[in-house]
Amino acid sequence: MFNELPVFKKLVRNADVMNRPENHLKHLLKIKTRFETFSRTGAGLFYDFSRQRINTDTLNLLFDLAEDRGLKNRFRAMSEGEKANRTENRAALHMSARSFIDEPVYVDKKNVMPEIMEVRKEIEDFTEKVRSGKICGSEGKPFKSIVVTGIGGSHLGSEFVSTALAHLADNNLSIHYLANVDIHAFGRVISEIDPERTLWIIISKSYTTTETLANEELARAFMKEQVAEPEKHFAAVTGKGNHKNSHLNSVTQTFRMFDFIGGRYSVSSAVGCLPLSLYLGYDKFEKFLKGAHEMDRHAIEAPACENLPLIAALISVWNNDFLGYPAQAIIPYADPLSRLAAHVQQLYMESNGKSVTEDGTPLTETQAGVMIFGEPGTCAQHSFFQMAHQGRPFPIDFIGVAKAWYDQFSHRFKGVTNHEQLWANLIAQPLALAQGTDDTDGSFADNTNDKSKFFPGNRPSSTLVIESLSPENIGRLLAFYEARTIYEGFIWGINPFDQFGVELGKRGAADIREKIARGDNDTDPGTQFYLDLVKNAGFAKDKGSHR
């Protein structure tokens, strides 16, 4: 267990030291070498953790921890096909899905690279045919919209990437997401598309995901009324073995998922590859894969003291288990990264939101994953940053983009372009959070009793910089957060690849669904109330509005 290591106790003692007033960030930041000491470049990303509440002792102890936990060996073994998903006895080879190295990777003595490359090639061919109009709809019209029908791991990653790279889409195809089983989602989607020019991509590894299959059935019923040959308007991404069931027969093409790639890590597999390649063109999608691959090699090969995702994982565990922060915000200063936080929220909280190690031992002295939330800056500054500065503190990952995509808008306001204005904020916020300001300096407070204008500071953050919103950089960013998430899981010794926690609710929903379908009653008065409400599609009369 992590907390039984000698280094754990040393870190606890170091946290006591860092909690002393003399180690407030406002003092630490005066050390001129600090920025140089606590920042790194790797795989095209720049990572500045100089505003974290650490000193060189902390960092060295954290590297000892990395060593003691054998993190790098475990990560490399995972990349080579070891069954890193131990509770489910599966490999975790999302990195192979974007590998460009001509070397075999063995799972159960079988080299999986040929089938991975085959799927990639199939998607490249399919993309070319769809975008050139060689594959088209029932009425002979080229496709203009794709509806990505999948939920969770089949949704959020692609949504993040397609939003981040929307400026590179050539409007050949628009992209829409149908994830929620809520009928309002379906209603919205069909209001956005022209059925005769729409390709539905059904994504489900097991082909048993209730939401996705319910939406597929709705889509098929809808398309049957719109076109002569609806099967020409469906493609599937699935790991289902023989591809022979009635659903999978009636699609234009099926693309294979593998059981060694989990949903939340599947953006680089056919799950993300098919929709993103159709949306952006295969060449741009391949650049995304190459960026992710570069970060993978860095995460595997760079020594701990230079390894960005590994350092980020160590700091995250430090903030969580030693300084006691229960949550973390991700604030990209880039509007197109608006869905990054939602993607990392799933990636990280589903991977590390656990309380037992992979061999079944409950975590006692430590807590695994924290809560993740975020919105883009500068918007977040005008929203919840009040709390960041003066309320309950939470560590922040700031993310910056060095170069703007739009050179043409260089109008200046107050002497700077919008991009420079954005950066002025991105530079200032981490400093303000770290340094705070005393009410006694007179700059904010009108008198020393006015604590409402007191900023305690000492609020930790990191800043990650990518050079631009290119496909390569989005790939690097995605792979950075994947590797960081996994490295954290390995520190606690939990399995970051299973998700047994979703099963109980699923089973309960199936029970209730059967009750609704059969019109059964329930012995629990609360449950019965809701069953009645569903049956009546509204409140019963005796539960009407009153004050």
Which residues are designated catalytic? 350, 382, 506
Residues 6+ apart with CB under 8 A from 519: 535
Pick the closer one to its own copies by CB: 123 or 266: 266
Q: Which stretch binds its own copies (CB under 8 A): 71-79, 121-129, 281-289, 396-404?
A: 396-404
Q: Annotate each residue in 20-39 with x if it binds its own copies (CB under 8 A) or - if it does not, as one string.
A: ---------x--x-xxx--x
* 297 touches its own copies (CB under 8 A): yes
Pick the closer one to its own copies by CB: 111 or 540: 540
Q: Annotate each residue in 89-128 with x if it binds its own copies (CB under 8 A) or - if it does not, as one string.
A: ----------------------------------------
In 3D space, the residue among 130, 266, 115 whose CA is nearest the CA of residue 200 turns out to be 130
In 3D space, the residue among 279, 300, 238, 317 whose CA is nearest the CA of residue 54 turns out to be 317
Pick the closer one to its own copies by CB: 133 or 538: 538
Edge-to-edge strands, sheet with 234-238: 174-178, 145-149, 198-203, 234-238, 253-256
Angstrom distance (rounded) from CA 239 to CA 257: 4
Q: Which stretch binds its own copies (CB under 8 A): 125-133, 271-279, 482-490, 521-529?
A: 521-529
Among 47, 354, 458, 485, binds its own copies (CB under 8 A): 354
The residues in 313-352 that bind its own copies, with binding defined as CB under 8 A, are 326-327, 333-336, 342, 345-346, 349-352
* 188 touches its own copies (CB under 8 A): yes
The residues in 193-252 that bind its own copies, with binding defined as CB under 8 A, are 210-211, 213-215, 217-218, 221-222
The H or E element containing residue 202 is: strand 198-203
- Count CB atoms within 10 A of the CB of residue 147: 24
Beta strands 39-42 and 198-203 are: unpaired
Q: Which stretch binds its own copies (CB under 8 A): 17-25, 52-60, 279-287, 495-503?
A: 495-503
Length of the chain: 547
* 531 touches its own copies (CB under 8 A): yes
* 442 touches its own copies (CB under 8 A): no
Pick the closer one to its own copies by CB: 317 or 368: 368
Measured between alpha carbons, how far apart are the two ends of the chain, in Å? Answer: 55
DSSP state of 319: I
The radius of gyration of the chain's CA atoms, rounded to the nearest angstrom, is 25
Strand-pair partners of 436: none
Angstrom distance (rounded) from CA 348 to CA 435: 29
Angstrom distance (rounded) from CA 456 to CA 157: 37
Q: Least distance from C-beta 45 to its own copies, angstroms? A: 8
Q: Least distance from C-beta 49 to its own copies, angstroms? A: 11
Angstrom distance (rounded) from CA 28 to CA 53: 9
Pick the closer one to its own copies by CB: 141 or 515: 515
Q: Least distance from C-beta 351 to its own copies, angstroms? A: 8
Q: Which stretch binds its own copies (CB under 8 A): 92-100, 182-190, 233-241, 274-282?
A: 182-190
Angstrom distance (rounded) from CA 320 to CA 325: 5
Q: Least distance from C-beta 162 to its own copies, angstroms? A: 13
DSSP H stretches of helix in 132-209: 156-164, 183-192
* 271 touches its own copies (CB under 8 A): no
Q: Which two tokens mark 14? A: 């170091």
Q: Least distance from C-beta 350 to its own copies, angstroms? A: 4
Pick the closer one to its own copies by CB: 15 or 512: 512
Q: Least distance from C-beta 23 to its own copies, angstroms? A: 18
CB 283 within 8 A of CB 165: no
* 253 touches its own copies (CB under 8 A): no
What would the DSSP string read from start to end of 28-47? HTT-TTHHHHTEEEETTEEE
The site for its own copies, by CB under 8 A, has a size of: 175
* 167 touches its own copies (CB under 8 A): yes
